[in-house]
Each structure stands twice: as structure tokens, then as C-alpha cells.
Amino acid sequence: MKSVRSAELRAECERMCRYLIGGAPRSYVVEHYVRGHAVRPEWFAPRSAFDHTLEVAARVLPLRVVDACSRFAASGSVVRRKLVFLLAILENSSPTCDAYETPDVSRPSEFYLRLIPRGILLLGALLVGAVVLPPLHLLRRVTGG
Amino acid sequence: MKRVTIVGSGASGVHFALSLLRKGYTVQMVDAGYTGTAPLAPDSRIPDLKRELADPVEYFLGEELSGLTLPGGEGEYYGFPPQKQYVFRHPDGVATRTRGFEPLSSFAAGGLAQAWTAGVFPFNEADLEDFPLSYDELAPYYGEVAERIGVSGMADDLERFMPVHEHMMEPLELDGHSRALLERYESNREVLNTRYGCYVGRARVATLSHAQGDREACGYLGRCMWGCPTESLYTPSLTLRECEQYKGFEYLPDRYVQAFELDEARRVRSLLVRSPDGGELEPLPVDTLALAAGTLSSARIYLASMWRHDGGCEDLDGLMDNRQVLVPFVHVGRIGVPYEPRAYQYHQLLLGLETGPLREYVHGQITTLTTAEAHPILQSMPLDLRTATFVFRNVRAALGLVNLNFHDHRRPDCRVGLSTEGHEADPVLEVRYEPEPGEGKRLKGAVKRLRRVLRRLGCVVAPGAVHTRPMGASVHYAGTLPMSVRPEPRTVSPLCRSHDFDNLYVVDGSTFPFLPAKNVTFTLMANAARVADRAF
């Protein structure tokens, strides 16, 4: 049972890592991710029915959709807590710390230009979430899933 | 010569002790005395630690993840790093009930200032208006303490709020962001001074800009918050170490003080102490006692003593603390600039906003973001985390924070008492705080003015990012056993001798009758040195 849970967490870590930094995690990152769940299980346990829905959604929808919707509708949700925990591991270990230290634009104008498509993606993610998440939540409540 | 027993090894206690030891007194210091661990890789900067340590995640987040800040938690923007957790460890069985106040207290060797941000701000004549002493009486002790701890700073526009004292060494180097802000202030000085009552200058900090004794000059490692590995940033444990070199000094750690006992003449006879892990109370005889445990712990000891002796005690009123409002900003012109890991991590600039009488000025500490953890900031941005990461890495060198501090004064509805409810045999401390009517308007007005000032400096405040901290968060507690010329109950004399018990002194913030907006720690040290010099 324990090894099944560990395998789930490893897969979850890999998926979240690809979302956050666009690549697979080092084994060092995965070990800390799994260990954190063992040290503080209460921090990563769902606290509400909507938390459960977001967890299910995180497996089937793009993570950006669940992350964006969580930020505005349930910022303390378990999915977002897991994402922030993984982000904390990534920012404090090499070589992924670079992604939080080194700018990849050289001028304010370039920053604003590159922010536009990201803003559109964020709005799209919120829109998809607004369409998909309420019926999914309702369905889960009705079916008791 | 008589022996003086001091409770607590914080900023007040150690400077009180050192002054007495230099005068030839025998000093006994009773303390729980929790300590931390020695810093790893003392020459490395923060980014190097992430690349060089065998397990950097454990270093930064801690074995129990105490350095992790998660969304939906009860913490604020920043938690304390694992290396500083010992500062807030409590002995077993020490509980506090609160209303309107979130207190922090320390039982560490060196006290709360083991985790301070080293701001050194002397009070001026206006700040001391309610004190039964003048600036001239305190000034020599500011100089003396500055010589002991090492203070860097300079005379500039902030002199109107903070007098210049002796023994100040040249200021620390500014990072690029702070330099740019100061240059912008200088070119807008007239407008900012006259229209907004805003004055900006260099921080005054207890951090060495050049070596002093066996302490090195600041190496700009950006590790202030994790614990300065070169001891350039002063903490009271350094003075405790100095005290331990005196033959007449006896340090008694691993002791939690519950109360003092009185004899028939109502003189303090002994302390009741136990191990911090629990166990039986044991008496420790004293000749002269000085409470320096910090405002709340000293109040706890005082009230518990009265409760044991008389079966009760009136509450101690007049509890004060500085309300703090955090105002994060983005310096627009610095977007895309690489951030400098070689920097002093805490505030390098200060600002004062004059909003009325001089003693009611608003004090702001300007911290540019250098080596702080990213995850607490990223999660608070109104973005998905991937977009937040893109924004953060490109604006990191443009981010800053103004920590606004507001003055407080003694009021009867802010008080500390004992509650026996559910604790009949051993009452617990009860802290109640009521904000002053109209406080919200005062805070809002100051933030509005600050937004305008920041705009003049080329910065913008992100909407929704301003955060009002709970009362208790600044940990500048004061006022519960105030100095008074008149011998009223639950007060002390101008030399901090109790008006209730003549062999009891109180030498911490409890004795301050007014709390200006600026950090009190430097004045706590100077006042403790003054009392040791003048009363003994």
C-alpha cells in the first residue's frame, strides 16, 4: 500500500514539475517531495469536497487550468499547496534555482510583450475552469464519487 | 559587593549585566537559554548554498518543513527559517490566552533579538516627552552601546527623526536597487519633503561596515535572515559571550522562572525556578532582582508573583506595540535587471512620513528583495504559478517592501492579566489589545501617501498587495510597568526601580511610557546601560 502511494506521489511530482519548469525532476527533488508528504501528511490532505474535485481535475485537465482556478477560487486547496511545496523544493535546489534567479528578458518592453500571451493563456485557463469545474463538482457530489 | 540577579538574556538583560560587571558587581543571569546550531559553509552566499550544499532543501526548508510557507496557512508573507526556530521555542506548560493580539516571545539565549533585523533608531526629545528623562540623559548610553555592538549609518535627512550619536561607523554598501531609490529621492527631495512630509535616508543598523574586535565586516552574503555566519550582524548572544568572560558573572541556563517570592517586609527573597522541560519549582535566593525577560514574560513573572503572594493582582494595563503595514512595490525601471546576490539582506534605506506632531511620524524600513525565498511571493501573486515564475524572475531585482511602523501609546483597554479559568493551580497569561478608534483611517491615510511617494520614486504598488499585520507581529512590546516620577502601584521610578518592591528593578520595555514608531531595541539596550550606571 505504501509503495503504491509512493509511486502515485512520484508520478504526481513528475507531472507537476513538467508544468512548473517544463522538464522532469531530478530524483533528489522527487525524494524530497515524497518525504514531505510523509513528514506533514495533514498539510496535503483534502479539506473539502471541492478540494477532492480539484484533485480529480488535476489528473484529467491541464494543470494550468486547475492552478489558475485554485488561485482565485480556492488558494489554499491541496493541489495548490502541493504545487507551492514542489516550487519551494525547485527554487532551493540546483539547477532549477536558476529559473527563479535569472531574468530571461533584458528590457521592460520585452517583459510586457512576453507577458501578453501568458495573460491570454491565463484567461483561457480560467475560462475552461469556469466551464468544466462546476459541473464536475456537481457530478461528483451527485454520484458520491 | 551585592549580587544582582537578572532574569533573561535578551537585549536589555545582557547590556544591563555588562555595565554592572564593568563596575565590579557580581551578576547572576537566569535563563531558559535555548540555542541554535552553528551556520554551515560560513563563506558562501545564498545562491552558492543552493548549489554547493549536499542537501540544500533541508537547509532552507528544514527537516520538519518549518521554512515552508503554504497558501491557506496562518502565516504571513514570511516564516522564520529553520535556523531561527530555536528563538521561538517555549518551555513546557507556558500558555498564553489572547484577544486582539498575536504575541511572540522568546526563551533563547539572547532573546528575541537573535532574530531581529538589526535596526538601530535612537529616540529623540519628542519621543521621550512622556518619559521622566531627557534625551541628554540617554545620549551617552546610545554612544556606549553603539561602541559595544557596532552601528553603521550616517547623518542625513533622517536626523529630524533620529539623533546622531557617538560611535557610528560608515554606512553599509548599498545594492543597486537601493542606490537607484536614493538617487531618485535626492532629485525629488524638495517635492517629497514639502508636499508629502517624506524624508529618506540610510538605514542605521547594528551590522559592521568594518571589522571590530574578532567580528568581521559584513561580507554581503545575503544570509541575515538565516543567521549571519560571520557575526557581523549583532545579536545579544555576542554580549552574553562577553559577559561570560567576567569572573563575577554566573550564567544559569535551563531554568524557567515562574515567579519571585516576597519576605514579610515585601522585599524579593527568591526566584521560583524549574527546568524548561517541567519538574518541581525550586527557590533561588536573590539579593537584588532585575526583570529583563521582555515585556510579556516580565509581566507573567510579576503577575504570578502577586497571585502567589496575595491571591490575586490587578491587570497591568498600557500594553503597546507598533502596528505594521507591509507595502510591496515594483521599481518599474529595473524590470529585466539581474538581481545581485552580493547584498545586505535587510533594510538599507529608511523613510519617515511626518503626519502631524513629530513624535507621531510614521517610520518605514525599505527592503529591496535580494535573497529572500521566492515561493511565499509567487503564491501571493494573482497569477497561475507558471506565469508568476516568469514575472518573478524578471522583476526580482525590481521588487521591494516598505514596512511601515506606527506609534502607540498607553491605553487602559490594552492589558495583561492572569486567567485561572481551567488553570486554577497555575494561571495563564491573558493578553488583550484593542486598537485605537480611528486607527484604520490613520493607516489608510499613511498608505495612500506612501503610494504617492513611491510613484515619485518610480515605483508602483501592486493592487491588493498591501498587508496589515496583526498586533503583536512587530514584537516591540512595552508599557506594562511604566516609569513614573510619582510612586504609584505597578510603576517604576525613573531609574527603573519598582515602586512596589525596593529590591526589584525592571529593565526591559515594560518601563516605556510611550512607543514611537521606530524599533525600540537600541533604546532598550541604552536604557539598561543607563540604569546599571546610574542606579548601582
d(CA B265, CA B267): 6
pLDDT the model gives residue A1? 56
Query: For B402-423, how does the pLDDT look when each residue is reduced to its tens digit (9 = 90+)?
Result: 999 999 999 999 999 998 887 7
CB contact under 8 A, A97 and B385: no
- B295: its cell numbers: 515585556
d(CA B484, CA B69): 44
Distances (CA, A) of B428 to A44, B94, B419: 33, 8, 5
Choose the mutation target among B74, B384, B395, B396 for the interface with A, i.e. most A CBs under 10 Å: B384
Q: What integer best gives the mean pLDDT of chain B?
A: 94
Inform me whether the pLDDT recorded for B292 exceeds 60: yes
Distances (CA, A) of B314 to A138, B88, B351, B417: 57, 28, 40, 7
Q: Can you tell me the mean pLDDT for A124-142?
A: 91
CB contact under 8 A, B394 and A125: no
Give the type of residue at B301: I
CB contact under 8 A, B389 and A77: no
Q: Return the ∠ at Cα A101 (arms to B332 and B176), rounded to 5°.
A: 50
CB contact under 8 A, B382 and A32: no
Residue bearing cell 526601580: B497
Give the type of residue at B393: R
DSSP letter at A95 equals: T
| Chain A residue numbers touching B335 (CB-CB < 8 A) | 105, 107-108, 111
d(CA B158, CA B203): 9
Q: Can you tell me the mean pLDDT for A125-135?
A: 94
Query: For B305-318, how does the pLDDT look when each residue is reduced to its tens digit (9 = 90+)?
Result: 999 988 877 899 99
Please name the residues in contact with A133: beta carbons below 8 A apart, sequence gap of 6 or more.
Answer: A53, A54, A57, A69, A73
**In chain B, whose CA is at the least distance from the CA of A107?**
B336
SS3 A52: helix
Alpha helix segments (H runs only) across B105-235: 135-149, 176-187, 189-196
- A28: its cell numbers: 533528489
* Whole-prediction pTM: 0.94
Considering only CB atoms, A104 lies closest to which of B61, B73, B394, namely B394
d(CA B518, CA B120): 9
pLDDT the model gives residue B1? 59
Q: How confident is the model at residue B17 (pLDDT cuts 50, 70, 90)?
A: very high
Query: For A66-90, how does the pLDDT look when each residue is reduced to its tens digit (9 = 90+)?
Result: 999 999 999 899 999 999 999 999 9
Cα B297 versus chain centre, distance = 15
**What is the percent of chain B with per-residue pLDDT over 90, rounded to a whole number?**
88
Inform me whether the pLDDT recorded for B52 exceeds 90: yes
Report which secondary-structure segment, H or E, holds A7: helix A2-21
CB contact under 8 A, A93 and B397: no
How far B392 CA lies from chain A's nearest CA (Å)?
7
d(CA B79, CA B520): 22
pLDDT the model gives residue B293? 98
Choose the mutation target among A32, A34, A71 for the interface with B, i.e. most B CBs under 10 Å: A71
pLDDT the model gives residue A5? 83
Task: State how beta strands B268-275 and B278-285 pair.
Answer: antiparallel
pLDDT the model gives residue B346? 94
- Give backbone dihedrals phi and psi of B99, rounded to 5 degrees, phi first: -145, 115
Q: How confident is the model at residue A2 (pLDDT cuts 50, 70, 90)?
A: low
Q: What integer best gives the mean pLDDT of chain A?
A: 93
Contact B414, B318 (CB under 8 A): yes
Cis peptide before A95 (omega within 30 of 0): yes
d(CA B61, CA A32): 10
CB contact under 8 A, B375 and A115: no
ipTM of this complex prediction, to 2 decimal places: 0.96
Inform me whether the pLDDT recorded for B252 exceeds 60: yes
CB contact under 8 A, A67 and B386: yes
Q: Can you tell me the mean pLDDT for B247-267?
A: 96
pLDDT the model gives residue B77? 53
Considering only CB atoms, B336 lies closest to which of A20, A88, A105, namely A105
pLDDT the model gives residue B95? 85
- B517: its cell numbers: 514608531
Q: Can you tell me the mean pLDDT for B38-67?
A: 93
Contact B449, B402 (CB under 8 A): no
Number of neighbouring beta carbons within 10 Å of residue B314: 11
Query: For B62-81, how does the pLDDT look when each residue is reduced to its tens digit (9 = 90+)?
Result: 999 999 999 987 555 556 78
How far A25 CA lies from chain B's nearest CA (Å)?
14
- B249: its cell numbers: 558573572
How far B365 CA lies from chain A's nearest CA (Å)?
24
Query: For B206-217, how does the pLDDT look when each residue is reduced to its tens digit (9 = 90+)?
Result: 999 999 999 999
pLDDT the model gives residue A141? 82
pLDDT the model gives residue B372? 87
d(CA B437, CA B181): 35
Q: Can you tell me the mean pLDDT for A31-40?
A: 96
Contact B124, B162 (CB under 8 A): yes
Query: For B356-388, how does the pLDDT look when each residue is reduced to its tens digit (9 = 90+)?
Result: 999 999 999 999 988 889 999 999 999 999 999
How far B66 CA lies from chain A's nearest CA (Å)?
10
Q: Annotate B313-324 with three-state secondary structure.
A: CCCEECCECCCE
Please name the residues in contact with A135: beta carbons below 8 A apart, sequence gap of 6 or more.
Answer: none
Q: Does B397 touch chain A (CB under 8 A)?
A: yes
Whose CA is closest to B411, among B497, B478, B359, B474? B478
DSSP B257-323: EEEEEE-TTS-EEEEEEEETTEEEEEEEE-SEEEE-S-HHHHHHHHHHHHHHHHS----EE--B---
pLDDT the model gives residue A143? 82
pLDDT the model gives residue A34? 97
Query: For B99-123, how does the pLDDT look when each residue is reduced to its tens digit (9 = 90+)?
Result: 999 999 999 999 999 999 999 999 9
**A-proximal residues of B, 202-231, CB under 8 Å:** none
Dihedral angle over CA of A25, A26, A32, A34, nearest 10: 60
- A81: its cell numbers: 499547496
Strands (E), B126-254: 151-152, 168-169, 198-202, 249-252
CB contact under 8 A, B65 and A39: yes
Q: Can you tell me the mean pLDDT for B24-35?
A: 97
Q: Is the backbone of residue B24 left (phi > 0), alpha (psi -120 to 50) or beta?
A: left
How far A123 CA lies from chain B's nearest CA (Å)?
10
CB contact under 8 A, B56 and A106: no
Q: Does A87 touch chain B (CB under 8 A)?
A: yes
- B317: its cell numbers: 494595563
d(CA B102, CA A72): 28
Distances (CA, A) of B426 to A106, B104, B196, B313, B422: 63, 21, 52, 14, 9
Please name the residues in contact with A95: beta carbons below 8 A apart, sequence gap of 6 or more.
Answer: none
DSSP letter at B82 equals: G
Q: Does B68 touch chain A (CB under 8 A)?
A: yes
pLDDT the model gives residue B371? 84
Cα B316 versus chain centre, distance = 21
- B300: its cell numbers: 507573567
Q: Does B332 touch chain A (CB under 8 A)?
A: yes
